């Protein structure tokens, strides 16, 4: 309560963050994790990691369960956001931003180009947003608006959301409290390394494919 009083009322994001985290200390922690995991990719600006970590701090040996639960429902939420974006469609989005254009700047054209880039690099857009702090919510909506493959979106999301949240839970399962310091200190570096390794694997696979098809 004291911490809440020290936060200015207009810092709504911090209040929301504290409200989310407090559920880890209640008997409704897992239910709160499920709800946050589903709603985060749709409309909630608080990453589900905070609740995964909060729950893992209380029961480190349940870390894998918390991580996998978060992964599953996060992909479900991402699929909901994707479906909503798909229902809106690229034409409505481009038209909407075109109406906001001022002078020689045609925002609709820029949005169209952005959607085309998403289609071209859909694997990387989905993978990076699912694994890193880049907003998964934004890229879930855009994936639908860009009309990329739903099966591809779900498949990539399952792999990389599981890597993200599952590895957090696994670290707590293996290391307990020490895992929090490792995550806070090395999370961003680790995700960059994973993306680089993934890019190298894709490059090698393409080279090998050319050898056998050439």
pLDDT tens per residue, range 7-65:
454 455 667 677 777 888 889 999 999 999 999 999 988 889 989 988 998 899 999 99
Q: How far apart are CA 29 and CA 7, in angstroms?
A: 24
Q: How far apart are CA 165 and CA 67, in angstroms?
A: 5
CA distances from 110 to 74, 93, 158 (A): 29, 11, 30
Output the pLDDT for position 67.
95
- Taking Cα atoms as reference points, which of 76, 104, 80, 103 lies closest to residue 165? 76
- Given a cut of 70, whether residue 3 has pLDDT beyond it is no
Which band of pLDDT confidence, cut at 50, 70 and 90, is reported for residue 6?
low
- Given a cut of 70, whether residue 212 has pLDDT beyond it is no
Q: How far apart are CA 187 and CA 132, in angstroms?
A: 9
- Tens digits of per-residue pLDDT, 127-184? 989 988 778 999 999 999 999 999 999 999 999 999 999 999 999 999 888 887 877 7
- Tens digits of per-residue pLDDT, 77-124? 999 999 999 999 999 998 888 887 666 667 788 889 889 999 999 998
- Tens digits of per-residue pLDDT, 118-140? 999 999 899 989 988 778 999 99
User: Range of 180's domain?
Assistant: 2-213
Which residue bears the tokens 């045609």?
A: 106
**What is the number of domains present in the chain?**
1
User: CB of 140 within 8 A of CB of 154?
Assistant: no
* HSE (side-chain half, CA atoms, 13 Å) at 211: 6
Output the pLDDT for position 206.
62
Output the pLDDT for position 186.
74
Output the pLDDT for position 2.
45
φ and ψ at residue 203, rounded to 5 degrees: -60, -45
Output the pLDDT for position 152.
94
User: CB of 36 within 8 A of CB of 46?
Assistant: yes
CA angle in degrees (0–180, nearest 5) for 114-118-123: 160
Q: Which tokens hold the place of 98?
A: 């075109």
């Amino acid at each position: 309560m004291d911490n809440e009083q020290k936060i200015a009322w207009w810092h709504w994001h911090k209040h929301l963050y504290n409200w989310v985290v407090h559920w880890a200390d209640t008997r409704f922690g897992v239910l709160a994790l499920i709800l946050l995991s589903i709603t985060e990719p749709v409309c909630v600006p608080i990453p589900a990691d905070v609740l995964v970590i909060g729950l893992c701090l209380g029961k480190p040996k349940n870390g894998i369960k918390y991580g996998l639960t978060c992964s599953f429902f996060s992909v479900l939420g991402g699929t909901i956001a994707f479906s909503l974006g798909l229902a809106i469609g690229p034409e409505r989005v481009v038209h909407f931003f075109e109406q906001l254009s001022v002078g020689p700047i045609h925002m609709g054209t820029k949005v169209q180009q952005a959607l085309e880039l998403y289609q071209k690099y859909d694997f990387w857009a989905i993978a990076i947003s699912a694994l890193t702090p880049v907003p998964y919510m934004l890229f879930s909506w855009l994936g639908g608006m860009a009309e990329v493959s739903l099966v591809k979106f779900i498949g990539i999301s399952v792999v990389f959301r599981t890597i993200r949240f599952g590895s957090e839970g696994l670290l707590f399962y293996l290391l307990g409290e020490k895992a929090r310091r490792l995550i806070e200190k090395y999370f961003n570096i680790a995700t960059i390394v994973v993306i680089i390794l993934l890019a190298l694997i894709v490059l090698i696979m393409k080279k090998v494919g050319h050898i056998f098809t050439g």
